[in-house]
Structures are given as C-alpha cells and as structure tokens.
Structure 1
Amino acid sequence: MIRRGLPSGGRAYDQGLAVGSEKFVRDVLEKLQVRAKGRKVREGYDRYQLREPNAAYNAHFTPENDLLRVENRFYWDE
C-alpha cells in the first residue's frame, strides 16, 4: 500500500519507535517518560519519528571483534 507516494513499510517505520504526526510522536514520547530518555523526535518527509540515539558500531561489538584477532586464526594447511 502506498500513501502519499511513500511505501507503508519504509525505513522510517522499521527504525522508529513512533512514526506519524508531530502531535502523535510527542504524545508517545510523553507517555514513555523515563523510558524515552535519550530518544529524539526527528522531522522527516511529511512525518515525524521518535528514534533511538545513533550508537557507534565499535561500542557494542568490541568484545566480539576481539575474538577475530590474528592470534585466533586457524589455518587449514597446518
């Protein structure tokens, strides 16, 4: 289904905690109270989004990436 030329399952709907009019998104933000800490209302193409803050990639994956260091490689020819 396409509404106003935008697909209904677009990226905004996949990544936003709330997507819609500014009033709707701000109401959701208010109802979440403390649980919405750090989340921001962002204006997009004819709609607003309540989104999680962007996090740096390394902040979450550093422990997992440590396992991929050179010392942990296994060569099949050995």
Structure 2
Amino acid sequence: MAREERWSRSIAVGSREYIENIQTKLGVKAIHRKIHETQGSFELWEDKSPYTVAFGTENEKLRQENTYNWDSF
C-alpha cells in the first residue's frame, strides 16, 4: 500500500466542480490558491515558496540570539 501525497498536500481533492465550490466558500483565503489536475481528479493547493527567501537574514539573527553556552550553567 503506497501513500498518495496529494491527500496530505492539498486543501481539497475531487472533481473540478467540487474544488471550485470549496474555493468559492474559502473566499479571500483562496485568492492565491491554484487548481491542479492530477491523476484524473483536481486538487486545490497553493504554490509553495521557501521562507528562506523572505526571512533568511531575520532567521539568522534569531538563531544567534537564541543560543546558550552550556559552560555558563
């Protein structure tokens, strides 16, 4: 038995009419979400962009400030 990734990466899986209905019900929350056809059905999901592009330098600063020296304890 193999795991089908589309069930865990998607907001909804089903017919085009079903996906469009879900997208309508989500309203503004679904503005940037895309409908993709996969294996004879449709999926609603948003394209993923890495957080490192937008937050790379900020994350580095947080990592440096959140360190503790074990010798101090």
TM-score (norm 1): 0.64
Aligned length: 65
* Aligned CA-pair RMSD: 2.6
More helix by share: 2
What is the CA–CA distance in structure 1 between the aligned matches of 2:42 and 2:32, rounded to whole Å?
A: 16
Gaps in structure 1 of 5+ consecutive residues: 1-6
Residue 39 of structure 2 corresponds to residue 52 of structure 1:
no
What is the CA–CA distance in structure 1 between the aligned matches of 2:5 and 2:14, rounded to whole Å?
A: 13
Which 4+ residue blocks in structure 1 deviate beyond 6 angstroms? none
TM-score (norm 2): 0.68
Gaps in structure 2 of 5+ consecutive residues: none
Deviation, structure 1 residue 65: 4.0
Alignment of structure 1 residues 1-78 onto 2, 5 Å? 9-59=3-53, 62=56, 63-66=58-61
Q: SS in structure 2 opposite 1:25?
A: helix
